[in-house]
Chains A and B, each alone.
Chain A
Amino acid sequence: NAGVTQTPKFQVLKTGQSMTLQCAQDMNHNSMYWYRQDPGMGLRLIYYSASEGTTDKGEVPNGYNVSRLNKREFSLRLESAAPSQTSVYFCASRPWGSPLHFGNGTRLTVT
């Protein structure tokens, strides 16, 4: 079992470029989440997906889009990257009644 896998681990973008952060889980979990973490800050929820086919906004959704491609995969897209989106991005998943399982993060720098 790989758990929650995030790709890439590191990425550098120029302002205005687009990219998609990938997240996949092999635990058959229903719910998946995307968080961002800025230096010295806690985790802030960007988007989440309660189940396959549904997505909802979290605290800080502006500038992002998501796709729940199937039960395993939940991707986060930056259409036009901005320096304010420089952050560490964490994906997580959980089944009914159980704790969150986190990936190891994607470290994104926008110059």
Chain B
Amino acid sequence: DAKTTQPPSMDCAEGRAANLPCNHSTISGNEYVYWYRQIHSQGPQYIIHGLKNNETNEMASLIITEDRKSSTLILPHATLRDTAVYYCIVHFTNSGYALNFGKGTSLLVTP
């Protein structure tokens, strides 16, 4: 699996957009970008994933650059409940692969 690089921490004001970057310069053609978040010490929760097109769901938007070497997770109107650690990982969609997480980005949303 391609390795990813994320900033260790970020701040965002409540109500503003939170833009979380992720670099994955060694991503291969069939690897997807997945984002998860972990609130407090709960089990991580899936947010969104994509291959090369931008994706949007009820939780967030995912913007993947044309060369696929980086992506940005966008929380359009951050709330205090979005304070969490956000993980970006890349992997094939097949089931049989090791899925390695890094340390993620700790996002603090402030009032």
- Determine whether the beta carbon of B95 is less than 8 Å from that of A96: yes
Across-interface contacts of A92 in B (CB, < 8 A): 43-44
Number of B interface residues, CB 8 Å? 23
- Determine whether the beta carbon of B43 is less than 8 Å from that of A105: yes
Q: Per a CB cutoff under 8 Å, which of B49, B100, B104 touches A58?
A: B100
- Determine whether the beta carbon of A102 is less than 8 Å from that of B98: no
Across-interface contacts of B104 in A (CB, < 8 A): 42
A51 interface residue per 8 A CB criterion: yes
- Determine whether the beta carbon of B46 is less than 8 Å from that of A50: no
Q: How many A-B residue pairs have CB under 8 A?
A: 72
Q: Mark A80-111, 1 if CB is under 8 A from B, else 0.
A: 00000000101010111111111111010000
Q: A50-B95, A105-B41 are in contact. Are A99 and B100 (CB under 8 A)?
A: no
B16 interface residue per 8 A CB criterion: no
A30 interface residue per 8 A CB criterion: yes
- Determine whether the beta carbon of B43 is less than 8 Å from that of A31: no
- Determine whether the beta carbon of A48 is less than 8 Å from that of B98: yes
Q: Is the interface of B mostly helix, strand, loop or mixed?
A: loop
CB of B52 to closest CB in A, whole Å = 16
Q: A50-B96, A50-B97 are in contact. Are A102 and B102 (CB under 8 A)?
A: no
Measured between alpha carbons, how far is A94 from B46 in the docked complex, in Å?
A: 11
Closest to A95 in B: B95
A33 interface residue per 8 A CB criterion: yes
CB of B58 to closest CB in A, whole Å = 15
- Determine whether the beta carbon of B98 is less than 8 Å from that of A58: yes
- Determine whether the beta carbon of B103 is less than 8 Å from that of A41: yes
Across-interface contacts of B93 in A (CB, < 8 A): 96-98
Q: A42-B104, A50-B95 are in contact. Are A99 and B46 (CB under 8 A)?
A: yes
Listed by A's residue number, 7 A-B pairs whose Cβ atoms lie within 8 Å are A30-B95, A42-B103, A50-B97, A95-B95, A96-B95, A97-B95, A99-B34
